[in-house]
Structure 1
Amino acid sequence: MVAEPNNWGRFGAEDQRGTLNLLTPRTVLAALGSARRGEVLSLSMPIRGATSSPAPTTVPHLRGRPLPQHFMSVDGADYEAGTRAIGAGLRMADDAIIVTHHGTTTHMDALCHMWAGDSLYNGHPAARVRSYGATRCGIEHVGGIVARGVLFDVPRHLGLPHLPAGFRIDGELLAEIARVGPGDVAVVRTGWPAVWERSREEYWSGQPGLSADGGRWLARHDVAMVACDNAAIGGLNADQLADEGLDDDLHLILLWRHGVHLAEMLWLEDLSEAGVSDFLFIAAPLRIEGGTGSPITPLAVL
């Protein structure tokens, strides 16, 4: 058992969903009222290109990570028998996507993504995470997320286009920007993805993000999920690593101790321009059994 305040046992000894349990039917229905205009914004990065094209490298990602790849067949060869039966003029285009997520595209972390010692979140044995998948706390337990989203637009609050690479967002600053409550999705903008267009090297020089204090503040406010436009929720140094020790690691604070799912690498520039403070947040991961995470396309309904 972890000594620091946590949610282990709070939702039952067998729980594998963490604070997503706060999304009760009543909470979900109340969240629908956050949509006022009926405008829908996608909060995801694109998946581009194929191995024969430089297109995948035009999307923000951590250096050295395998990139999502999109391939397409346009000759209909796999359907030759069908084309003969239906008509010689029929052709098909089929898609194939090689999907990776951590550090390379908009995605959600499962509760089995990170842990310390011999236990996953809620005391589930870490030995259940194997090369063939995790039999505890996998991404398939998430289901669909419909909640009130609360935007913490930190650079706009500070009058900046984006936060500096070394900036860490603490609880006091979060409290200045917005109020968040049980079952809300905290959406934190750093503005860092926009740096990619200016300089790849600057993007890789580090990343701003939440501090440990900021993560604990959100956990105390019982958020259902934390979503950010950076690559790791917390900040990164020039080696693309966190500087915090294990006690202050954001993934351990949120995922492991409190069962708060994380979504990373969102595109929040359009949402920032929309000038809203709260909205209806919708997202669902792929139902990958035993997966440590999944690409997602979060939606903001304004």
Structure 2
Amino acid sequence: MARWKRRPDGSNWGDFGPDDQRGRLNLIGPEQVLKGVREVRDGRSFCLSLPLDYPGGNLLNPRRHPPVLRPTSRGKAANFNYALSSDDGELVDVISDDLVILHTQYSTQWDALSHVGQEFDADGDGVAERVYYNGFRAGEHVVDDGEAGSSARRLGIENMAVTGVQGRAVMIDLFAAFGRERKLVGYKDLMAVMTADGVTVEKGDMVCLHTGYAELVLEMERRPEPDKLHGACPVLDGRDPGILDWVSESGLAVLIADNYAVEAYPARAAEGRHASLPLHEHCLFKLGIHLGELWYLSALARYLRDRSRFRFLLTAPPLRLPGAVGSPVTPVATV
């Protein structure tokens, strides 16, 4: 039985197959990987992740907290600096082993396609259902089982991990144009920056937006200031139809930024029934475009700008954690 009779306007549901869970990652194949490899000239690598205990505290999102490291147990003892002895009682090894309590979207992260859905009349019967990309259903495919835990049985982050997430990436340097000013970047602004820097985006490219926000987060050294967290650096205007059309028509495979949500949050006010995160709706729900957030792009952006370059090889698989709706990531750019 088909999961949907109607698909959202402007969506690509079904275009990659009725059961597709990868979305526009399908545009990254061997050709895109080879394009990325051809951008490697200097043999230098850049880590694009913040330390995963940044930004610090929970002022950025009250529901997300820093990771907690704890030792595993060996009987009643902590399995940390544990003296492991042989049968005759002679000391052989000292063992340390730990576990982590990790909010998957606290720091540098990928959003899975199960992260944001919408109430939408996919059945065409006049009643809106809670659905995700390609018509997968809340309660059936994305499930909260209470004490048993939650699970994205479809559209989990593992579907992204198995692709390797490797190919050619493009840097768009909004920070170079606007500095740390809090600015809603609309389509005209974006095109002006890209034209000035000679940046082009082609089908299957992974697009990175450098705003300077992650570098600001690093400077606060895990003691974030609310006004800076919520009032600094450029952000895409998700309410601008031109931005949404560009995302659709450019053929970009994934969209990444070094700020909190890629788009402004909260978004500009709108009338009537509307998404609170319009760019998330457009990317995750309609087009199957994974979003990367809170990446550290500043050092790479400076390196590329100094050499009049904007393309590089990007390798950025998430954790292969079945059922997760997001994941920390340690991306690597190779130039």
TM (normalized to structure 1)? 0.85
Distance 2:71 2:8 in 1: 54
> Which residue matches 1:64?
62
* Larger Rg over CA atoms: 2
> Which residue of 2 is the match for residue 78 of structure 1?
79
Could you tell which deviates more after superposition, 125-134 or 19-28? Answer: 125-134
The CA RMSD measured in Å over matched residues stands at 2.6
Aligned to 1:182: 203
Specify the code of the residue in structure 1 equivalent to 2:215: A
Provide the C-alpha distance between the structure 2 equivalents of 1:74 and 1:21, rounded to a whole number of angstroms: 40
Could you give the per-residue CA deviations for residues 163-186 of structure 1, whole angstroms, max 9, x where no partner exists? x22x12223333331211111110
Aligned to 1:211: 237
Corresponding residue number in structure 2 for 1:53: none
Q: Provide the C-alpha distance between the structure 1 equivalents of 2:159 and 2:269, rounded to a whole number of angstroms.
A: 29
2:289 is matched by which residue type in structure 1? V
SS in structure 2 at match of 1:126: coil
Aligned residue runs from structure 1 range 1-20, under 5 A = 1-20=6-25
Aligned length: 286
User: What runs of 5+ residues in structure 2 fail to find an aligned partner?
Assistant: 1-5, 120-128, 145-149
TM-superposed deviation, 1:30:
2.2
More deviation, 87-96/123-132: 87-96
- TM-score, normalised to structure 2, is 0.77
Inter-CA distance 180–81: structure 2 relative to 1 (3 Å threshold): same
| 1:37 to partner: Cα distance | 1.0
Distance 2:111 2:313 in 1: 21
Instruction: Give the structure 2 partner of residue 137 of structure 1.
Output: 155
Q: Name structure 1 gaps, 5 residues minimum.
A: 49-55
Percent of paired sites with the same residue: 30
Secondary structure of 2:214's counterpart equals: helix
CA distance in 1, matches of 2:71, 2:110: 29
Matches within 5 A, 1:67-106: 67-71=65-69, 73=71, 77-78=78-79, 82-85=84-87, 87-88=90-91, 90-102=93-105, 104-106=106-108
Measure, in 1, the Cα distance between the counterparts of 2:256 and 2:109: 9
CA distance in 2, matches of 1:182, 1:22: 7
Structure 1 contact 23–183 (Cα < 8 Å) conserved: yes
Which residues of 2 match residues 144-293 of structure 1 at below 5 A? 144-156=164-176, 158=177, 160-162=178-180, 164-165=181-182, 167-176=183-192, 177=194, 178-196=199-217, 197=219, 200-206=225-231, 208-212=234-238, 213-236=242-265, 241-243=266-268, 245=270, 246=274, 249-274=278-303, 275=305, 276-293=309-326
Describe the shift of the 1:243–1:25 C-alpha distance in structure 2 as closer, same or farther (beyond 3 A): same
Query: Would the alpha carbon gap of residues 153 and 87 (structure 1) be closer, same or farther in structure 2, given more than 3 Å must change?
Result: farther
Given that 1:66 and 1:100 are in contact with CA atoms closer than 8 Å, whether structure 2 keeps it comes out as yes
Alpha-carbon deviations, 1:126-168, whole Å to 9, x = none?
Answer: 3321122011111111121011110010121x2x432x22x12
Aligned residue type for 2:321:
I
The answer on 1:39 being equivalent to 2:44 is yes
**In 1, distance between residues paired with 2:55 and 2:107?**
11
Displacement of 1:214: 2.3
Q: Report the CA distance between 1:250 and its aligned residue.
A: 0.8
AA of the residue aligned to 2:96: A
